[in-house]
Structure 1
């Protein structure tokens, strides 16, 4: 079995690989390969490393720079998600704590750019359309970072094909599809994270190919260098967005197949002993998992070291975490709560107050269920005297002293001050949730009589310990009904008019749900001359890195999975390869200018079609092999199957790894999530052009079987005949190369026209009239100013 890798190069005249081989990386660019003790030198070495590739690389890099940096300052207003990532850069520069579902690396790069140009973070990117000029923001410097990374991505795609041993037209085509793609350009010239993600993904693939090419000289300095660079690149991917995990899957598949090949006792290079195999395994484990993880942790350490001030991210963290931030309200205003204090209780997630009023639940709900007709207990968004609750002990204190502190784990009662009644929950279905319990209140007489147990609640402070004092603000807690073990909970769907459209309060049986958390905001009954009212300076606390890191990780994953609400420009994965719709980023009514995120339809449709062609070719080959026909190697030449399966197959795995997982995600998805998969599809496209025109085989391998049998028969008897066959092979190779160049030229001409045609939507200028806009509505593109 061949070892796994991105893009194995066929060796002209070499032996064909075993059937069913797994995807593998590239052999050295000069076409050499070690088969046993022999070295095969490619006849096309000059072409693989000559001036043609270098000239093409320079030209493509220059065009990439031009298409990414052209008119970078337009528009001079906040565009789409720049409201998020520009804001985060400002928070870093202000050292103000914020919360985001993405890891820190990409955002730290923007903050670094801001620091380099002397920006102080005064602008918070609050609204799309806010002026950068008026607010004196160095936005062009910010946008230059993703534009530069996008330029390098195009260069990297070309190098991936070059290092994998592909022909010049195949390399130009793959890079050109990325170079002139409107989606790759539009998403990577704004203050967004995708340029960092895509460049890191491409760099990971390139570094692994360079590492794989050194597989016959293991544990040398260069071998370690490229293995470690692969790990560092992978770390950059996962440290930018968690979808970077898909790149780990891509490289991981290649590594597993590579290790499987090393286990083969019949491998040409000689069998490895188990200790030798163990060294290979541990080296890859260390470089591709341990090293990336420590770099990943490093960026979180930088994140915590910079963000030392209280900010908008405080509410996502526990009170213990918040007390590590300077100027935090937990540190400044936290006050211990005693029994018989009157407090206001607020829900952490929705910010509604626990509230009650004299009105009662209706006899029947809309679905016919009967209520208790008890006093309504609801959530109210505004401060009001009906939000006042007195905290009472479950049993009277023998000394009658009012100075007893409330602690974690205490059983308490809550008395509603406005109606002089006691909070209660019982086995009656709530208005909206038949599985949840109703919350209501009962009179003091009932609360001290037969209904006493139903009025008892256990106060569970989050991450609390025995004897911990209950405090305002910092005392986030769950209020658990003692008899039934349900937690007080609320949500955002308002109750009907009979409850004045206030929030429903009910008992949630899922005690672990984080939305069960509340906090005591204030003590309105606290006298102004009370010792507890004196605000003494408090020292900012410390918290171990691992504890902060794990808490933030939990919050990030929870809120990332909670991004399920509908968005008008959200799309699903079935739409992406066909480019059925895009996303509106920015509009200017006066000039009818707009930025509409959309890929180049011509390029996307060609790449998507060739993905299907690849699957068809592999399927047909597998079927023909079942019938005893070896069509690929016989008709295209030895090594064709190995090249197709190992090299193109690796690129196809990269596409599938970055695309298929989105089908099982429940969060909001947008077209930009397809960009890494689109890049992989361009690699498949370039590889298939080389396969279709059989460039390598024509130039070096024997003729197709129908011709080569005659040639072989005459080969031994006539040196002149052999020279004739060599000339024929060279001529056919040149013809195939010319045909590939023609095909590449036709495709790129169409792609460049598509880029130019949709450029006004990508760059936001010039404005288009109604007819011009409608001419660009090829599919379901909901463009502005179309009427």
Structure 2
């Protein structure tokens, strides 16, 4: 067992590794000087934070808040929206270098964290150095750390959680250290780190699972120690529950409290949220509306299960079926959402002679049969036996807008109101139709089907709006509607003359209600990301990195997410060796061939436990992705890659234990040197450097590494011609000039 606390000479090593990592992560941080890959999304979200415009994202807010803090600190006003890849930062005076610096610094910190984790696992300093160098010189980790992305904060907090738990575990192995100040410090830091990693991305739950497995094993060991009384055992359990469950939850809630307090203005994410949520945003607050709904009321009708869905029609017809006017759900407020509720005619075809604004107000009750007149087009809501335009189920029928001048409709316009629910504080809303408070279904009288909508979108001819049909087998949640706005001439007159007309609006939502709704929407949107992407990949291909991602191609340069083959393949091999070793040991122990008990086998038990812990970390950060049907990319493997690099250090430490120190040093040095050489071979794709077609082609070790080799010139001298060609249109960026000079100088030295 090696000393846990690092020696004085190791501090110098640790500082040196940190400085090296900083240089690797921050070199040419301003290159490329334009939007790269998902900077479109996360940079755009920073802009929305600055403008306080609400947006919806599938990831929690912590990393984006860190990016926003860096941008705001350097004067970013949010006027640049990061709309497309390749859009120039310099022309818009965006402090993008400062924004990239935040993940770069956290990416730098991953190196010393790796060293401290290895030493806390009681690995030799040389093994810790090897693991740290592999982390530093991985091309994929470096690329992710240099851009406005979330993976670097995710990895930082994953590593911090792992280190904190290992240090706590080491304290917990000594009974005299239980409940000491340092014991509490590492336990609390573990809880805070877990809260942080989940607050960056939900895949941080895999880190929670890893620490959870370790904690359960700890408690199981404590349970078997008969010297610990039940009262003290209960204290161990409750302190862990408090620090590792309650504390992370509180931290997660705190991040969303900050998130929602900043995003208090209406924005592009409104349509994902319920109207009550939208009502809490500045600039999107609906005025009070009349509660009683009667014949002649002019209303907007919303679909309960589709938060952004207004019943809508417009002057465009279906290209199939009845060829009548389209009925859709539309997510935005629009005059085409306004319908008038009118009485059904008992004499079909005769003109409607009602003047609802002068007649006595007649409130609508449960069971009333009515028609809905679309005010802008004069068509009535209508259904018949035609097939819907998209859905093909036998039990669904088309819903259309039908009618013409001097025609009062027919029996297919009749819908019966069936009240489903009302407001708990308004008993009348369960029997009478009231705006906002009453939820109802609309049953087509002739066919018995219910007005229905679902997530199905209409094609281009329907402007991508949501399909509305009439469904005879409609599930309840997809056929419930309510009235959001309501006007009526009689109510307006009554209010002017006597007042006292009941008004209604959405009740203000508290933080917890908004938080719960936001989690539900994030989950639904995340699960809905099932469309294929040009660069998506499945988990089976990740450990060996058989497919990368083109992040940016411009000016005859490229940023491409490629893993360092030495790092990735060593990690995959270490995982395989570790799993086989653990399985072999388990079988040997079961057969009585090997024993792990007694002082003579402490060495074997030590490596078994740390290998099992790190393997579980790798497995829990990798295997769950096989259960996900959503769109996935190779960068989802990066947390598992981190654990595979730790396994590489563990395997090296274990395998080289019987070798002389000099031999160990030589093996580690050669491994690290090869990793560094390969890193520099692909550095042009990391830092957007000049490269040639020949170098690009020779670096394609696997056929699916689809570098844009055709974008690179045949030789470096051709870059001068390119810069001369564009000089008349725009000034060459200073850092590109410096890079060109540096490249030429390097070429001379090499020559």
TM range (shorter): 0.7 to 0.9
Give 1:354's aligned residue. Answer: 313
Please tell me whether the aligned partners of residues 182 and 599 of structure 1 are also in contact (alpha carbons under 8 angstroms).
yes
Q: How does 1:580-729 map to 2 (within 5 A)?
A: 580-588=546-554, 591-630=555-594, 638-693=601-656, 695=657, 698=658
Aligned with residue 321 of structure 1, among 277, 283, 288: 277
Q: How does 1:224-235 map to 2 (within 5 A)?
A: 224-235=184-195
Give 1:129's aligned residue. Answer: 86
Give 2:13's aligned residue. Answer: 56
Query: What displacement does 1:280 show?
Result: 0.3
Indicate how the Cα distance of structure 1 residues 592 and 471 shifts in structure 2: closer, same or farther if over 3 A, else same. Answer: farther
Quick check: 1:391 aligned with 2:331? no
In the alignment, the residues of structure 2 paired with residue 196 and residue 470 of structure 1 have an alpha-carbon distance, to the nearest angstrom, of 51
Give 2:734's aligned residue. Answer: none
Aligned with residue 284 of structure 1, among 221, 235, 240: 240
SS at match of 2:59: coil
Give 2:373's aligned residue. Answer: 415
SS at match of 1:390: strand
Give 2:263's aligned residue. Answer: 307
Give 2:3's aligned residue. Answer: 30
Aligned with residue 144 of structure 1, among 97, 101, 117: 101
Please tell me whether the aligned partners of residues 29 and 97 of structure 2 are also in contact (alpha carbons under 8 angstroms).
yes
In the alignment, the residues of structure 2 paired with residue 191 and residue 171 of structure 1 have an alpha-carbon distance, to the nearest angstrom, of 29
Give 1:748's aligned residue. Answer: 672
In the alignment, the residues of structure 2 paired with residue 334 and residue 101 of structure 1 have an alpha-carbon distance, to the nearest angstrom, of 36
Query: What displacement does 1:460 show?
Result: 6.9
SS at match of 2:551: strand
Measured against aligned partners, the alpha-carbon deviations of 1:2-47 in whole angstroms (never above 9, x if no partner) come to xxxxxxxxx3xxxxxxxxxxxxxxxxx626xxxxxxxxxxxxxxxx
Indicate how the Cα distance of structure 1 residues 408 and 84 shifts in structure 2: closer, same or farther if over 3 A, else same. Answer: farther
Measured against aligned partners, the alpha-carbon deviations of 1:138-167 in whole angstroms (never above 9, x if no partner) come to 111111100000000111011100122101
Query: What displacement does 1:494 show?
Result: 4.0
Give 1:506's aligned residue. Answer: 469
Measured against aligned partners, the alpha-carbon deviations of 1:379-407 in whole angstroms (never above 9, x if no partner) come to 49899999874322579999983655779
Measured against aligned partners, the alpha-carbon deviations of 1:661-718 in whole angstroms (never above 9, x if no partner) come to 111112111111110000000001100011112x2xx5xxxxxxxxxxxxxxxxxxxx
Give 2:38's aligned residue. Answer: 81
Aligned residues, how many? 679
Q: How does 1:96-115 map to 2 (within 5 A)?
A: 96-115=53-72
Indicate how the Cα distance of structure 1 residues 301 and 84 shifts in structure 2: closer, same or farther if over 3 A, else same. Answer: same
Measured against aligned partners, the alpha-carbon deviations of 1:338-392 in whole angstroms (never above 9, x if no partner) come to 6435567688658893358787965xxxxxxxxxx69565449899999874322
Measured against aligned partners, the alpha-carbon deviations of 1:708-765 in whole angstroms (never above 9, x if no partner) come to xxxxxxxxxxxxxxxxxxxxxxxxxxx4332222221121121111111111111111
Query: What displacement does 1:621 show?
Result: 2.2
Aligned with residue 250 of structure 2, among 294, 297, 311: 294
In the alignment, the residues of structure 1 paired with residue 434 and residue 699 of structure 2 have an alpha-carbon distance, to the nearest angstrom, of 61
Give 2:749's aligned residue. Answer: none
In the alignment, the residues of structure 1 paired with residue 210 and residue 22 of structure 2 have an alpha-carbon distance, to the nearest angstrom, of 28
SS at match of 1:560: helix
Indicate how the Cα distance of structure 1 residues 611 and 334 shifts in structure 2: closer, same or farther if over 3 A, else same. Answer: farther
Aligned with residue 158 of structure 2, among 194, 197, 201: 201
Query: What displacement does 1:627 show?
Result: 3.9
**TM-score normalised by L of structure 2:** 0.80
Q: Please, which runs of 5 or more residues in structure 1 have no aligned partner?
A: 1-10, 12-28, 32-47, 363-372, 533-537, 699-734
In the alignment, the residues of structure 1 paired with residue 108 and residue 319 of structure 2 have an alpha-carbon distance, to the nearest angstrom, of 65
Task: Identify which range, 614-623 or 414-423, moves more after superposition.
Answer: 414-423
Please tell me whether the aligned partners of residues 658 and 674 of structure 1 are also in contact (alpha carbons under 8 angstroms).
yes
Indicate how the Cα distance of structure 1 residues 295 and 786 shifts in structure 2: closer, same or farther if over 3 A, else same. Answer: same
Give 2:212's aligned residue. Answer: 252
In the alignment, the residues of structure 1 paired with residue 519 and residue 163 of structure 2 have an alpha-carbon distance, to the nearest angstrom, of 30
Query: What displacement does 1:57 show?
Result: 1.0
SS at match of 2:286: helix
SS at match of 1:111: helix
In the alignment, the residues of structure 2 paired with residue 512 and residue 503 of structure 1 have an alpha-carbon distance, to the nearest angstrom, of 18
Please tell me whether the aligned partners of residues 422 and 443 of structure 1 are also in contact (alpha carbons under 8 angstroms).
no
Give 2:706's aligned residue. Answer: 782
Measured against aligned partners, the alpha-carbon deviations of 1:171-216 in whole angstroms (never above 9, x if no partner) come to 1121111110011010111111111111000000101111111112
In the alignment, the residues of structure 2 paired with residue 407 and residue 95 of structure 1 have an alpha-carbon distance, to the nearest angstrom, of 43
In the alignment, the residues of structure 1 paired with residue 443 and residue 595 of structure 2 have an alpha-carbon distance, to the nearest angstrom, of 73
In the alignment, the residues of structure 1 paired with residue 460 and residue 100 of structure 2 have an alpha-carbon distance, to the nearest angstrom, of 48
SS at match of 2:553: strand
Give 1:572's aligned residue. Answer: 538
Query: What displacement does 1:125 show?
Result: 1.5
Indicate how the Cα distance of structure 1 residues 781 and 359 shifts in structure 2: closer, same or farther if over 3 A, else same. Answer: closer
Q: Please, which runs of 5 or more residues in structure 2 have no aligned partner?
A: 347-353, 497-503, 712-751
Indicate how the Cα distance of structure 1 residues 501 and 547 shifts in structure 2: closer, same or farther if over 3 A, else same. Answer: closer
In the alignment, the residues of structure 2 paired with residue 187 and residue 776 of structure 1 have an alpha-carbon distance, to the nearest angstrom, of 20
SS at match of 1:330: coil
SS at match of 1:603: helix
Query: What displacement does 1:616 show?
Result: 1.6
Please tell me whether the aligned partners of residues 585 and 596 of structure 1 are also in contact (alpha carbons under 8 angstroms).
yes
Indicate how the Cα distance of structure 1 residues 524 and 579 shifts in structure 2: closer, same or farther if over 3 A, else same. Answer: farther
Please tell me whether the aligned partners of residues 584 and 783 of structure 1 are also in contact (alpha carbons under 8 angstroms).
yes
In the alignment, the residues of structure 1 paired with residue 199 and residue 157 of structure 2 have an alpha-carbon distance, to the nearest angstrom, of 10
Q: How does 1:307-456 map to 2 (within 5 A)?
A: 307-328=263-284, 330-331=286-287, 339-341=295-297, 353-354=312-313, 362=321, 377-379=326-328, 389-392=339-342, 401=359, 403=361, 412-415=370-373, 418=377, 421-424=380-383, 432-434=391-393, 436-440=395-399, 455-456=415-416
Please tell me whether the aligned partners of residues 349 and 515 of structure 1 are also in contact (alpha carbons under 8 angstroms).
no
In the alignment, the residues of structure 2 paired with residue 781 and residue 524 of structure 1 have an alpha-carbon distance, to the nearest angstrom, of 65
Query: What displacement does 1:278 show?
Result: 0.4
Higher RCO, 1 vs 2 (CA within 8 Å, ≥6 residues apart): 1
Give 1:274's aligned residue. Answer: 230
Please tell me whether the aligned partners of residues 64 and 179 of structure 1 are also in contact (alpha carbons under 8 angstroms).
yes
Give 1:770's aligned residue. Answer: 693
Please tell me whether the aligned partners of residues 416 and 423 of structure 1 are also in contact (alpha carbons under 8 angstroms).
no
Indicate how the Cα distance of structure 1 residues 477 and 349 shifts in structure 2: closer, same or farther if over 3 A, else same. Answer: farther
In the alignment, the residues of structure 2 paired with residue 276 and residue 82 of structure 1 have an alpha-carbon distance, to the nearest angstrom, of 50
Indicate how the Cα distance of structure 1 residues 76 and 378 shifts in structure 2: closer, same or farther if over 3 A, else same. Answer: same
In the alignment, the residues of structure 2 paired with residue 167 and residue 416 of structure 1 have an alpha-carbon distance, to the nearest angstrom, of 77
In the alignment, the residues of structure 2 paired with residue 118 and residue 501 of structure 1 have an alpha-carbon distance, to the nearest angstrom, of 39
Please tell me whether the aligned partners of residues 384 and 399 of structure 2 are also in contact (alpha carbons under 8 angstroms).
yes
Measured against aligned partners, the alpha-carbon deviations of 1:441-495 in whole angstroms (never above 9, x if no partner) come to 688999998768x6324477998975569899x8997754367574421555546
Query: What displacement does 1:308 show?
Result: 1.9
Give 2:740's aligned residue. Answer: none
Indicate how the Cα distance of structure 1 residues 383 and 238 shifts in structure 2: closer, same or farther if over 3 A, else same. Answer: closer
Give 1:481's aligned residue. Answer: 443
Query: What displacement does 1:244 show?
Result: 0.5
SS at match of 2:161: helix
Give 1:711's aligned residue. Answer: none
In the alignment, the residues of structure 1 paired with residue 45 and residue 362 of structure 2 have an alpha-carbon distance, to the nearest angstrom, of 44
Task: Identify which range, 757-766 or 146-155, moves more after superposition.
Answer: 757-766
In the alignment, the residues of structure 2 paired with residue 76 and residue 475 of structure 1 have an alpha-carbon distance, to the nearest angstrom, of 53
Query: What displacement does 1:507 show?
Result: 3.5
SS at match of 2:224: coil
Aligned with residue 761 of structure 1, among 685, 689, 703: 685
